[in-house]
A and B are shown apart, each in its own frame.
Chain A
Amino acid sequence: KAGVTQTPRYLIKTRGQQVTLSCSPISGHRSVSWYQQTPGQGLQFLFEYFSETQRNKGNFPGRFSGRQFSNSRSEMNVSTLELGDSALYLCASSAEGQYYGYTFGSGTRLTVV
Chain B
Amino acid sequence: DQQVKQNSPSLSVQEGRISILNCDYTNSMFDYFLWYKKYPAEGPTFLISISSIKDKNEDGRFTVFLNKSAKHLSLHIVPSQPGDSAVYFCAASARSGGYQKVTFGTGTKLQVIP
Q: Please state if A102 and B46 are interface contacts (CB–CB under 8 Å).
A: yes
Q: Please state if B102 and A102 are interface contacts (CB–CB under 8 Å).
A: yes
Given the complex of chains A and B, what is the CA–CA distance between A33 and B89 in angstroms? 16
Contact count band on B: 20 to 34
Q: Is B82 located at the chain interface by the 8 A CB criterion?
A: no
User: How many residues on chain A are close to B (CB under 8 Å)?
Assistant: 28
List of A residues within 8 angstroms of B101 by Cβ: 56
Q: Please state if A41 and B93 are interface contacts (CB–CB under 8 Å).
A: no
Task: Name 9 interchain pairs, CB-CB below 8 A, sorted by A.
Answer: A33-B102, A42-B107, A97-B100, A101-B36, A101-B46, A101-B49, A101-B102, A107-B41, A107-B42
> B residues engaging A (CB < 8 A)?
6, 9, 32, 34, 36, 41-46, 49, 51, 89, 91, 93, 97, 99-107
